[in-house]
Chain A
Amino acid sequence: MQKIIVCLKRVVDYNVRIRVKPDGSGVATDGLKMSINPFDEIALEEALRIRDRGLATEVVIVSIGPDDAQQQLRTGLAMGADRAILVQSTGELEPLAAARVLLKLVVREEPGLVLLGKQAIDDDCNQTGQMLATLWDRPQATFASKLELNGTVATVTREVDAGLEVLEVDLPAVVTSDLRLNEPRYVKLPDIMKAKKKPIEIVAIDSLGVDTSPVHRVTKYDTPPARIKGAMVKTVDELVGALRDRGVLA
């Protein structure tokens, strides 16, 4: 296979605890640490391993986002991606719009495999990969914990509620990563230096001819009701007593 495309979304780092703005108009993200969506980092790691086994020649990373998303693309290049594409967009896209934008690039680049994260940890939608596969009219294998390539066929083990499901799909295909697909590498300093020379192509979102205006209307943001800290007990007797008092233990 020639090319693998990996989709990287810039999101608030998973270790950061976000807050809803007091007026309910949004989530305060200014000044917070931003990272590659953890699932996408796993997707990229998988693509790099496939390329390094000689099964693909090029790994292209794509992000739709603000100019600052170049930071995450630089990190992806430092991890080992060959080149990057940034589709400039200031607003948040609905997953269907993101999938339509990604489709434009997929049609242009003709990859043998497109890897995405199973979900972005900001919107938690878990939709984009499935939508892209549908629009592209190619197979999908979501929530992958194992990916094996054999010529033009991928065998994918998927984490499903009942256990593990194995699918066989013909390439080109869309695969979305689950957490246990691999453990991403750490970026080393020399790689960061090398990555500075790798190209990032900037694409204006308007040039793609996709209507990306949101269809759904967000009316407000709320802070979820917090669970109230309960009582600490000192002994197992007290613990069992407290459970019986609550009527949850016979």
Chain B
Amino acid sequence: MSRVLVIAEHDGEHLNQSTARCVACAVAIEPGGTDIVILSRNPGAIAAQAAALAGVTGVLTVTNPANGPALAVVLAPQIASLARDYDVVLAPSTTYGKDLLPRVAALLGVPQLSDIMTVTGPRTFQRPIYAGNALVTIEVPDGVKVVATVRGASFKPVGGGNAAPIRAVELPATLPAHTRFVELRTGKTDRPDLQTARVVVSGGRGVGSADNFALLYKFADRLGAAVGASRAAVDAGFVPNDMQVGQTGKIIAPELYMAFGISGAIQHLTGIKDAGTIVAVNKDGEAPIFEIADIGLVGDLFQVIPEIEKLLR
């Protein structure tokens, strides 16, 4: 029976939901045990959140001031030393996991799998390639550690109610002087998080300007939705980069995705393939987004959005 180590993602206070999705992937492997490791300067509160996740058999905490800012170069050697006791090491396929896990794999001298979508066997996994236009099934031979990132949109987060034991471990962490954290600039909003929101309202180049995005924010707030964007909207400076949805932005799976003024380039569609219902509003009836939309309306977003708002209860 294999043992799985899940690397927790957190912001210093809260466990990121991507961790519960990783645990869902771990559980699908049907392992002999699933432990979560939390590397932090102060893991207490996060450990409690991790211990509550269904299916988790243990939580390891590594306390070190050096683990404050999540620098891959600091975290990777600690994880690699823990990984010796596990057959499978999983991290979320977020910018955090993508930055970190290849270092762990390189230290362990094993190849890494990126973006597991489906567990098809104890050692076989399906993952997307070519912006999701093909899926490949990969088997990791016996005796080779599985080191993989997990595509969050493919797994429902596990529930809570568990009380797994929490254990502190001591690991030497060398603070490399060659990499220094300067700052994290976040556009803090009160809106739901794009990666976990039930409803996402998204705008593209068709929105036209940063000012015009106010219309989408207002609409999203009425719906309690998160706001996303196409690359073109980010490139044009309408919205910040963390709102980009797609192959090279965020892969999301909301219950409802509403795309306004987005043409539906393949790189964008990759990011919303797992959405429940996709609504597209575009003034061009030939826009490719209509090929995958569940509900399409040819129209001008500046007229359509206020009209929808009027009909909301």
Contacts and interface: CB of A to CB of B under 8 A. Distances in A.
Contacts of B185: 163-166
A238 B296 CA distance: 10
A232 B95 CA distance: 36
B15 to A, nearest CB: 14
B235 to A, nearest CB: 6
A242 B295 contact: yes
Interface residues of B, number: 90
B176 A248 contact: no
Contact of B95 (A14, A161, A173): A161
A94 B127 CA distance: 14
A170 B180 CA distance: 9
Nearest to A127: B102
B311 interface: yes
Given A217-B141, A250-B313, A236 B308 contact: yes
Contact of B311 (A27, A145, A215, A240): A240
Given A18-B133, A134-B76, A223-B135, A239 B140 contact: no
Contacts of B199: 248
Nearest to B179: A139
Q: Chain A at the B interface: mostly helix, strand, loop or mixed?
A: mixed
Contacts of B187: 163
Contacts of B297: 232-236, 238-239
Interface in B124-146: 124, 126, 128-141, 144
Contacts of B107: 134
B266 interface: yes
Interface in A168-190: 168-170, 173, 178-180
B291 interface: yes
B276 interface: yes
A160 B281 CA distance: 29
Contacts of A164: 184-186, 240-242
B110 interface: yes
A243 B96 contact: no
Interface string B105-120: 1110111111100000
Interface stretch (A55-63, A65-73, A75-83, A116-124): A116-124
B194 to A, nearest CB: 9
B293 interface: yes
Contact of B290 (A163, A229, A249): A229
A248 B103 contact: no
Interface string B270-281: 000100111101
Interface string A19-40: 0100000010000000000000
A107 to B, nearest CB: 15
Contacts of A220: 136-137
Q: Which of B129, B195, B234, B276 has most A Cβ within 10 Å?
A: B129
A108 interface: no
Interface string B157-189: 000000000000000000011111111111100
Nearest to B109: A96
B111 A99 contact: no
B282 to A, nearest CB: 11
B92 to A, nearest CB: 10
Contacts of B109: 96
Given A27-B130, A130-B99, A217-B139, A140 B111 contact: no
Interface stretch (B26-34, B35-43, B52-60, B247-255): B247-255
B96 A20 contact: no
B98 interface: yes
B113 A243 contact: no
Given A164-B184, A167-B179, A240-B311, A159 B131 contact: no
B155 to A, nearest CB: 16
Interface of B: 11, 71-73, 76, 94-96, 98-100, 102-103, 105-107, 109-115, 124, 126, 128-141, 144, 176-187, 195, 199, 223, 231, 234-235, 240-242, 247-248, 250, 255-256, 266-267, 273, 276-279, 281, 290-299, 304, 307-308, 311-313
24 contacts: A17-B266, A122-B130, A124-B114, A124-B128, A124-B131, A126-B98, A130-B98, A139-B179, A159-B241, A159-B242, A161-B94, A165-B181, A165-B184, A216-B113, A218-B138, A219-B138, A223-B134, A227-B273, A227-B278, A227-B292, A229-B293, A234-B297, A236-B297, A249-B256
